Chains A and B, each alone.
Chain A
Amino acid sequence: MEVNIRINHALKKYGDNVVIPDLSLDIKPGEFFTLLGPSGCGKTTLLRMIAGFNSIEGGDFYFNDTRINDMEPSKRNIGMVFQNYAIFPHMSVRKNVEFGLVNKKKPKDQIKTISEKYMKLMHIDEYADRMPSQLSGGQQQRVALARALAIEPDVLLMDEPLSNLDAKLRVEMRQVIKEVQQEVGITTVYVTHDQEEAMAVSDRIAVFKSGVIQQIGTPHQLYQRPQNTFVAFFIGRSNLLDGKLVHEGGKTFVVFNNGFRQEMTNIVDCEDQEVKISVRPEEFVMSDDGTGISGVVEQTTFLGISTNYFIRTDHGERVEVNEESQVGKSLQKGDRVCLKVKAHKINVFNKEGSASLVVKEV
């Protein structure tokens, strides 16, 4: 059974300290939903409220039509994967995976077949009779996942499950997690502070800051059309430039500090105003005709597939530019360049950076 999670006006306080003021979410059945944000933003707190380990000071939490606010954690039928794996150190792999099934008082033969199935799925069946201390970090993580899935939970909750693994294993395991989630088709809530990891695994992501959701969207939407400058900076890399928005003769332009004008076709209906222009490093183009934002190369980093430049504009702003590597020599420190932007890709925000002025495509 696929379960939808609805949260209406959640409130979380520690004493007088409000961690989550008012939060609503609707997670679709079978969705891989990620809570993303810097540490201390309240994402783990929310996950633990769903799990039942944190008290709920206000609002309603629903799994389908069942209100779970007052339900014991052990009754919520959730599978949970913890940052430190939380494998029971005094039980073998098999006993760990069987643990939840034993608690559900399933018949013996079922316990055996179900746990075998999930140990096979996670490729840990060959370690079934080992103790956790004999396993590597990645193997322990697989046990944790198998254990959580074996109870065939309504929802799967994962709290930074990959942060204790080394970089290479992290990439491998996130692929495993994504594949398994798709195969089992279980509604999943995933917490991470790593935006790349979030992009790689999620159907949708909620970006958090100080207990408030900044934007909910697919990885595409978050990267290409961030709704404010916080998201633009948190997801990927961005240069933020000051500018103006002007309407002239039925056309709309953004005007950069040095007077360079770029026509825009996707700006919402609004007045002329000062704006923040967010340009990702790969959204700059080196211009040949001498027009654009002029500046001097300060640093060049050859990365193989692309080359990264730091350029000081004549107006004093430092921007990062990323370009496909060319055959031959890259630009060198001190070289003068002119930059233009890919108009359909850049984002324009109001002066405060709190709202996007670009039309949402989808």
Chain B
Amino acid sequence: MNKNKLNVWHIFSLLLLVFDLLFIVYPLFNVLKNSIIIDHQFSLAHFVRFFGDSYYLDTLINSLKVAFVVTLTSLFFGILLAYANTIYELKGSLFLQIVTILCSMSAPFVGAYSWILLLGRGGAITTFLKDVLNVAAPSIYGFGGIVLVMTTKLFPLVYLYVSGALKGIDQSLMEAAENLQCTGFKRFTKVVLPLCMPSILAVALMVFLRAMADFGTPVLIGEGYRTFSVEIYKQYIGEGGMDHGFAAAISIIAIMITAVIFFTQKAVSKRFSFKMDSMHPIQKQKAEGLFGVLLHVYSYLVVAISFMPQLYIIYTSFRNVSKSGNTFVAGYSLNNYKAFLARMGQAVPTTLLIGVVTLALTLVIAVLTAYLIVRRNNKINSALDTLSMIPYIVPGSVVGISMVMGFSTGPLVLTGTMAIMIIAIAIRRMPYTIRSSVATLQQIPLTVEEAAESLGCSKFKTFIKITVPMMMRGIISGAIVSWITILTELSSSIILYSSKTTTLTLSTYIFVSRGTLGPAAASASILTLFTTVSLLLFFKLTKSSDLAL
């Protein structure tokens, strides 16, 4: 074969490389430039200001604190639920699984908002406690509230990862442990947990990075507790003085910190990598006696607390609100929905349009990149592999800022367009979809493609007729997660949106931040309806209840 011949794959490699360089590297380079160039001169003044002022430094420490604690609590609740629902026969096991997944799929701040309605000043539970029992409810604002809300949203990720790992453990390993007199809790810590360690480490990183970069939750519920992602936004939007250079500097610091965490995790997980062939998955045990009751109580309680906010939002969406729009009054109606549709009705088609286009773009990029990485490895494609992982460690708000800094002036102006939002969200999603496509592709034996070639199929035709259909299952289960994350994207689009590109998530956020309760609840409910219906449809069509994150 003539290796120097330019074929269709070389063209795809180059196109993807241009895409990555243009929309990932170039914008970030602009952020870096903005952070160290002041009035055309090199200066570290922004960094000196950040580290010299505890006001700013605190935001970073706060974010790290939140991320650390949320990771621990999510691991605790997630692992325990996964263990309960995978090793033991729980009643309504499938129901628990689906509701857990639904918890993780809500828009990031809907939970926060709902908790405020329940436990905030004038919240339903707060009022109830004060009026009826005459006790003060614990404050939902600040550190505790952030941790609570993020945990209820992020523990399902841990649950999904760890239950996947548990299903990969061979029954004979459990029996061998028992045979060697290692049972019960000891078996859990000595055998089960270590076997899940690769998955636990992987999901711990994911939870940490998401908790650290989350914007919606702290901005609503944090009040005096300031985190860096909110600070970047404030500096950028200009609450208390617009300072793009300073926002860029905070972004660079944030990326460096997440990069350190990312590489530390990689180094640690190398020590825990092993292969396991599971021929006989674990058989569920009966949960009997008091232990069984405790398992059920725990599982249902965790899931109920996490899911309650979504239900409560839907409930309030039917309640009547006062003329001013900031208190609920007696009676139920569809008025909130009417108000929402009148003011922001355009958000529904906009969301669907942005969602579909972004999903298509993400999938095409992911499948092509994965194919090039796995099947046509060369220097350019290895570079694609590395480049496409960059967004994994870049917080969403930084992606947003980088896009503005890259494309508001110069040869390519995209700010305010739908394209810039689509590209930003697609880039945010790329690391996940590419990783899952790579994993899918690695499981497909190369010989199947070779068979097609030997039967007279050209390389590109083989890709379309054989490779893509065989990857389809993996692609679809990755696509559903992408679809929902795209619908609920806030941290980058809050910086990039214009009146024409207001999605449901953004409209909900806008109503919430204006304090207009009714349309906010209606908007959030429609969003919840979208994500729930998408998921249930997916489960129905694929006849499975597993997701590939």
Of all chain B residues, the one with the shortest Cβ separation from A80 is B454
Interface stretch (choices A82-90, A229-237, A255-263, A266-274): A82-90
Complexed CA–CA distance, A104 and B458 (Å):
11
* Secondary structure of the B contact surface, majority rule: helix
For B7, the closest partner residue in chain A by CB is A72
Look across to chain A and name the residue whose beta carbon is closest to the beta carbon of B445: A84
A147 close to chain B: CB less than 8 A: yes
Per-residue interface assignment for chain B, residues 307 to 322, with 1 indicating a CB less than 8 Å from any chain A CB and 0 otherwise: 0000000000000000
Docked-complex contact B450 and A74, CB < 8 angstroms: no
| Residues on A with beta carbons closer than 8 Å to the beta carbon of B451 | 80, 82, 86-88, 144, 147
Closest to A97 in B: B455
- Give the residue name and chain of the B residue nearest to A78 (CB): B454
Q: Is the CB of A82 within 8 A of B447?
A: yes
Q: Which residue of B lies closest to A55 (CB)?
A: B1
Contacts of A75 in B (CB 8 A): 456
User: Which residues of A have CB within 8 Å of B458?
Assistant: 72, 74
Q: Is B364's beta carbon under 8 Å from chain A?
A: no
Interface centre among B451, B454, B470 (most CB of A within 10 A): B454
Report whether B447 and A73 are in contact in the complex, using a CB–CB cutoff of 8 Å: no
Instruction: Contact check, A151 vs B456: say whether CB atoms are below 8 A apart.
Output: yes
When distances are taken between beta carbons in the complex, the residues of chain B under 8 Å from A127 are none
Task: Report yes or no: B447 in contact with A84, Cβ–Cβ below 8 A.
Answer: yes
* B1 adjacent to A83 (CB under 8 Å): no
- Interface size on A, as a range, is 20 to 34
Residues of A within 8 A of B537 (CB): none
Which among B447, B456, B461, B469 is the interface contact of A100 at CB below 8 angstroms?
B456
Quick one: which of A93-124 are within 8 Å of B by CB?
A: 99-100, 103-104
Interface-central residue, B2, B448, B455, by most chain A CB under 10 Å: B455
Known A-B contacts A55-B3, A70-B1; A147 and B455 likewise in contact (beta carbons under 8 Å) = yes
A158 to chain B, nearest CB (A): 12
Report whether B454 and A73 are in contact in the complex, using a CB–CB cutoff of 8 Å: yes
CB neighbours of A144 from chain B (8 A): 451
B339 within 8 A of A: no
Minimum CB distance partner of B444 in chain A: A89
Is A245 part of the contact surface with B, judged by Cβ < 8 Å? Answer: no
Q: Which of A121-156 contact B (CB under 8 A)?
A: 144, 147-148, 151
Tell whether A74 pairs with B457 under 8 Å between CB atoms, given A55-B3, A80-B451: yes
Q: Is A42 an interface residue (CB 8 A)?
A: no
The complex places the Cα of A169 from the Cα of B457 at a distance, in Å, of 31
Would you give the shortest CB distance from A66 to chain B, in whole angstroms?
16
Hey, which chain B residues are within 8 Å of A151, CB to CB?
455-456
CA of A151 to CA of B455 in the docked complex: distance in angstroms? 7
What's the minimum C-beta distance from A344 to chain B, rounded to whole angstroms?
Answer: 46
Residues from chain A with Cβ under 8 Å of B1 in the complex: 52, 55-56, 70, 72
B255 on interface, CB distance cutoff 8 Å: no
Residue of B nearest to A48 (CB): B450
Query: Pick the contact of A74 from B2, B3, B453, B469 — CB < 8 Å?
Result: B453
B304 within 8 A of A: no
Q: Is the Cβ of A86 less than 8 Å from the Cβ of B455?
A: no
Is B452 engaged at the interface, CB distance under 8 Å to the other chain? yes
Whether the pair B456, A74 counts as a contact (CB closer than 8 A) is: yes
- One digit per residue, 1 when the CB lies within 8 angstroms of any chain A CB and 0 when it does not, for chain B 457-468 equals 111010000100
Interface residue total, chain B, C-beta cutoff 8 A = 21
Contacts A72-B1, A84-B447, A89-B470; A103 near B457 (Cβ below 8 A)? yes
Q: Does A206 contact B (CB under 8 A)?
A: no
- A99 B452 Cβ-Cβ under 8 A: yes
B451: nearest residue on chain A (CB-CB)? A86
- The residues in B between 428 and 447 inclusive whose CB is less than 8 angstroms from any CB of A are 445, 447
Residue of A nearest to B462 (CB): A74
CA distance A38 to B445 in the complex (A): 23
Contact call A103/B450, Cβ cutoff below 8 A: no
CB distance from B205 to the nearest CB of A (A): 33
The chain A residue with its CB closest to the CB of B5 is: A70
Cβ-closest chain A residue relative to B457: A103
Chain B residues contacting A78 (CB-CB under 8 Å) are 454
B452 contact set on A, CB distance < 8 A: 88, 99
Question: Is A51 an interface residue, CB under 8 A from the partner?
Answer: yes
* A157 to B450 alpha-carbon distance, docked (Å): 12
A82 to B446, CA, bound (A): 10
A302 contacts the other chain (CB 8 A): no
| Selected contact of A99 from candidates B3, B450, B455, B469, CB within 8 Å | B455
The answer, among B2, B3, B450, B459, for a CB contact under 8 Å with A80, is: B450
Within the assembled complex, what's the spacing in Å between the Cα atoms of A78 and B452? Answer: 11
Nearest CB of chain B from residue A100's CB, rounded to whole Å: 3
B450: chain A residues within 8 A (beta carbon): 51, 53, 73, 80, 82, 86
Assess whether A219 is interfacial by the CB under 8 Å rule.
no
- When chains A and B are docked, how far (Å) is the Cα of A53 from the Cα of B446? 10
1/0 per residue, CB under 8 A from B, across A38-79: the answer is 000000000000011101100000000000001011111111
**Of the candidates B3, B445, B469, which one forms a contact with A86 in the assembled complex, judged by CB atoms under 8 Å apart?**
B445
For the complex formed, measure the closest distance between the CB of B459 and the CB atoms of chain A, giving whole angstroms.
8
Least distance between B21 CB and chain A CB atoms (Å) = 30
Binding site for A on B (CB under 8 A): 1-3, 445, 447-448, 450-459, 461, 466, 469-470, 472
Q: Please give me the 6 A-B residue pairs with the lowest Cβ-Cβ distance, nearest first.
A: A100-B455, A103-B456, A86-B451, A86-B447, A80-B454, A82-B447
In addition to A72-B458, A148-B454, 10 A-B residue pairs with Cβ atoms within 8 Å of each other are A51-B450, A55-B1, A70-B1, A73-B450, A83-B447, A86-B451, A87-B448, A88-B466, A88-B470, A99-B457
